């Protein structure tokens, strides 16, 4: 290929401006016949807006060739020797610009679904005839536009290199159940738990379950914009199921058919899973009680309520890496108290005013004295902090005797506005509030700091060049 110089005819000179905006495609194919066919459609200076940069038959070289040659598209035969499936994601999240992979699906095997799973953005069926080559023009342009659009959108989330992720997965963090609690209402429990869960489950892409267990009424279904039709799948429905299971198990034990050891679980992973609503990436939510009076229902009270929360957290932590619970302030509520007991960490949210600090100190004293909760697992989150409030961070820490994991500034009305949009602000904000939630999450999952930094570098408004490229592709402004 290198010896094949394109002829310098007037037409190819004339399209020089076009050539610079033509997409560059790397052919990672085995069959010479396919390559030949494509070369005739994507010859230098062709009118399809796509040019071939090289042909590579060694799977191990796909990533290095594509990045070195500044490719936009890799057309990939997945049966290429030494091809590394992770490279599809690495290319897509390549730092300089996204490189999309389009599959050339071999007739044999079930490569179609697999390729999309590893991140391919389109496909054509091999062998590649003229019709496939033509189809490729539209598929490739659209895939590159979509990738640029995603990369330049504020909600773009880079993925950590899979190899880095594997190293991370074996070191440096542990699964955790975190209860978010405060002694008063309206201080930021929901804002904190929802953003924390979004950092862990969406940004960091760890399996995360947010449980809205506030017995004074749920918020999550509103804050995540969950459709009315889904609201029946909530924590009360699951607690009712638990109650039924308890009754059935009691009956069966009584009849002597089932021994204690073989007793069925009182809440199965499938039952819990069936009540979760997937949000994005690895975040799902168990929404709370849609009506405040439901907090008084019998399955939330006493032993039944405690047993339910205990089982729920058991199952949730077995199917997720992180469980974040939004708790109501009332420590007399059985499910709140059980969650405080079972959680690995309790994040206590306070506002920096003397009354909030004092009320919190008092409730916590009672908790520690009468309920034998472990003091070591409590952490302080100061929300709506403002220097001019005249209360120093160290004084708060001293008064409450907890390590501080985050100080979230007062963000004014835009924070409340974000609650009304249907997704937490960390998804598309890069401001100080979002950065603080990432800092809090990094106390549980340190690698998220790295993800945050590469996000700042890669995506959104930070990348003007790609935005320009996108509008050129879509509107052809470079030719104007």
Ligand X SMILES: Nc1ncnc2c1ncn2[C@@H]1O[C@H](COP(=O)(O)OP(=O)(O)O)[C@@H](O)[C@H]1O
Does 383 sit near Mg ion (CB under 5 A)? no
If you count DSSP H runs as helices and E runs as strands, how many of each does the chain have, helices first? 20, 13
Instruction: Kindly write out the interface string for residues 448-467 of this chain, putting x where it contacts ligand X by CB under 6 A and - elsewhere.
Output: --------------------
Q: Between vectors from CA 127 to CA 121 and to CA 130, what angle results, nearest 5°?
A: 85
Choose which of 410, 428, 449, 472 interacts with ligand X (CB under 6 A).
Answer: 410
295 secondary structure, DSSP code: G
Taking the complex as a whole, the smallest distance from the CB of residue 190 to Mg ion amounts, in Å, to: 3
Does 436 sit near Mg ion (CB under 5 A)? no
- The CA distance from 319 to 284, in Å, is 11
Residue 31 or 419: the one with the smaller Cβ distance to ligand X is 419
Choose which of 192, 219, 281, 338 interacts with Mg ion (CB under 5 A).
Answer: 219
Does 190 sit near Mg ion (CB under 5 A)? yes
Residue 195 or 243: the one with the smaller Cβ distance to ligand X is 195
Taking the complex as a whole, the smallest distance from the CB of residue 432 to ligand X amounts, in Å, to: 10
Does 408 sit near ligand X (CB under 6 A)? yes
Residue 414 or 479: the one with the smaller Cβ distance to ligand X is 414
CB 324 within 8 A of CB 178: yes
CB 284 within 8 A of CB 316: no
Burial annotation 225-256 (CB, 10 A radius, 16+ → b, else e): ebeeeebebbbbbbbbbbbebbeeeeeeeeee
Does 46 sit near Mg ion (CB under 5 A)? no
Neighbours of 146 (CB within 10 A): 15
Does 330 sit near ligand X (CB under 6 A)? no
288 in helix, strand or coil? coil
Does 338 sit near Mg ion (CB under 5 A)? no
**Interface stretch with ligand X, choices 32-40, 133-141, 160-168, 187-195 (CB under 6 A):** 187-195
Does 190 sit near ligand X (CB under 6 A)? yes
Residue 190 or 429: the one with the smaller Cβ distance to Mg ion is 190
Token match 């310098």: residue? 8
Residue 216 or 319: the one with the smaller Cβ distance to ligand X is 216
Taking the complex as a whole, the smallest distance from the CB of residue 388 to ligand X amounts, in Å, to: 14
Does 411 sit near ligand X (CB under 6 A)? yes
Does 221 sit near ligand X (CB under 6 A)? no
Taking the complex as a whole, the smallest distance from the CB of residue 413 to ligand X amounts, in Å, to: 7
Within 13 Å, how many C-alpha atoms sit on residue 163's CB side?
4
- The closest residue (CB) to Mg ion is 190
**DSSP per-residue string spanning 183-251:** SSTTSSHHHHHHHHHHIIIIIS---EEEEEE-TT---HHHHTT--GGGTTSBHHHHHHHHHHHHHHHHH
287 secondary structure, DSSP code: B
Does 346 sit near ligand X (CB under 6 A)? no
Taking the complex as a whole, the smallest distance from the CB of residue 466 to ligand X amounts, in Å, to: 31
Choose which of 43, 419, 462, 478 interacts with ligand X (CB under 6 A).
Answer: 419
Instruction: Kindly write out the interface string for residues 133-172 of this chain, putting x where it contacts ligand X by CB under 6 A and - elsewhere.
Output: ----------------------------------------
Residue 38 or 220: the one with the smaller Cβ distance to Mg ion is 220
Does 442 sit near Mg ion (CB under 5 A)? no
Choose which of 94, 132, 182, 338 interacts with ligand X (CB under 6 A).
Answer: 182
Task: Say which entry of ligand X, Mg ion, none residue 472 contacts (CB below 5 to 8 A, set by partner kind).
Answer: none
Contacts for 350 with CB less than 8 Å, ≥ 6 apart: 182, 183, 187, 356, 357, 360, 380, 381, 382, 383, 396, 400
Task: Say which entry of ligand X, Mg ion, none residue 185 contacts (CB below 5 to 8 A, set by partner kind).
Answer: ligand X
Nearest to 223 by CA among 197, 194, 202: 194
For strand 277-280 and strand 283-286, is the pairing parallel, antiparallel, or unpaired? Answer: antiparallel
Residue 190 or 418: the one with the smaller Cβ distance to Mg ion is 190
Taking the complex as a whole, the smallest distance from the CB of residue 233 to Mg ion amounts, in Å, to: 20
The two structure tokens encoding residue 113: 């679904």
- The CA distance from 277 to 63, in Å, is 36
Task: Say which entry of ligand X, Mg ion, none residue 411 contacts (CB below 5 to 8 A, set by partner kind).
Answer: ligand X
55 secondary structure, DSSP code: E
Residue 211 or 470: the one with the smaller Cβ distance to Mg ion is 211
Does 15 sit near ligand X (CB under 6 A)? no
Residue 15 or 219: the one with the smaller Cβ distance to ligand X is 219
CB 267 within 8 A of CB 311: yes
Nearest to 139 by CA among 76, 69, 62: 76
Contacts for 385 with CB less than 8 Å, ≥ 6 apart: 352, 393, 407, 408, 409, 410
Task: Say which entry of ligand X, Mg ion, none residue 403 contacts (CB below 5 to 8 A, set by partner kind).
Answer: none
Residues that bind Mg ion (CB under 5 A): 189-190, 219
Residues that bind ligand X (CB under 6 A): 182, 185-191, 219, 383-384, 408, 410-412, 415-416, 419, 433
């Amino acid at each position: 290929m290198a010896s094949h110089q394109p002829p310098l005819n007037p037409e190819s000179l004339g399209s020089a401006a076009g050539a610079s905006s033509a997409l560059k495609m790397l052919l990672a194919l085995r069959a010479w016949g396919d390559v030949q066919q494509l070369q005739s459609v994507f010859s230098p200076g062709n009118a399809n807006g796509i040019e071939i940069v090289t042909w590579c038959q060694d799977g191990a070289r796909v990533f290095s060739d594509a990045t070195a040659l500044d490719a936009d598209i890799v057309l990939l035969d997945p049966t290429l020797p030494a091809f590394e499936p992770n490279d599809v994601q690495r290319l897509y999240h390549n730092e300089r610009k996204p490189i999309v992979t389009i599959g050339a699906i071999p007739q044999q095997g079930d490569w179609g679904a697999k390729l999309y799973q590893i991140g391919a953005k389109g496909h054509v069926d091999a062998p590649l005839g003229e019709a496939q080559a033509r189809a490729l023009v539209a598929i490739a342009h659209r895939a590159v536009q979509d990738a640029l659009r995603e990369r330049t959108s504020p909600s773009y989330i880079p993925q950590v290199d899979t190899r880095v992720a594997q190293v991370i997965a074996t070191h440096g963090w542990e699964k955790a159940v975190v209860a978010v609690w405060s002694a008063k209402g309206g201080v930021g429990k929901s804002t904190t738990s929802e953003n924390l869960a979004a950092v862990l489950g969406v940004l960091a892409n760890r399996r995360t379950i947010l449980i809205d267990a506030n017995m004074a009424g749920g918020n999550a279904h509103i804050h995540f914009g969950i459709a009315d039709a889904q609201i029946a799948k909530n924590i009360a429905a699951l607690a009712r199921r638990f109650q039924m299971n308890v009754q059935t198990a009691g009956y069966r034990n009584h009849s002597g058919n089932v021994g204690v050891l073989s007793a069925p679980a009182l809440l199965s992973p499938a039952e819990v899973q069936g009540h979760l609503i997937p949000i994005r990436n690895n975040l799902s939510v168990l929404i709370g009680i849609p009506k405040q009076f439901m907090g008084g229902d019998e399955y939330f009270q006493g032993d039944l309520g405690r047993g339910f929360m205990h089982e729920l957290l058991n199952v949730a932590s077995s199917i997720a890496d992180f469980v974040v619970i939004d708790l109501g302030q009332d420590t007399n509520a059985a499910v709140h108290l059980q969650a405080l007991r079972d959680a690995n960490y309790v994040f206590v949210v306070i506002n920096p005013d003397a009354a909030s600090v004092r009320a919190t100190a008092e409730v916590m004293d009672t908790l520690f004295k009468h309920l034998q909760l472990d003091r070591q697992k409590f952490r302080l989150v100061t929300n709506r902090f403002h220097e001019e409030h005249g209360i120093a961070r160290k004084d708060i820490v001293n008064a409450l005797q907890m390590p501080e994991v985050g100080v979230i500034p007062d963000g004014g009305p835009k924070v409340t506005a974000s609650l009304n949009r249907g997704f937490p602000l960390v998804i598309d904000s890069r401001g100080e509030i979002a950065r603080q939630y990432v800092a809090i999450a990094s106390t549980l999952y340190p690698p998220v700091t790295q993800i945050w930094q590469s996000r700042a570098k890669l995506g959104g408004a930070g990348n003007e060049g790609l935005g320009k490229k996108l509008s050129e592709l879509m509107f052809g402004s470079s030719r104007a």
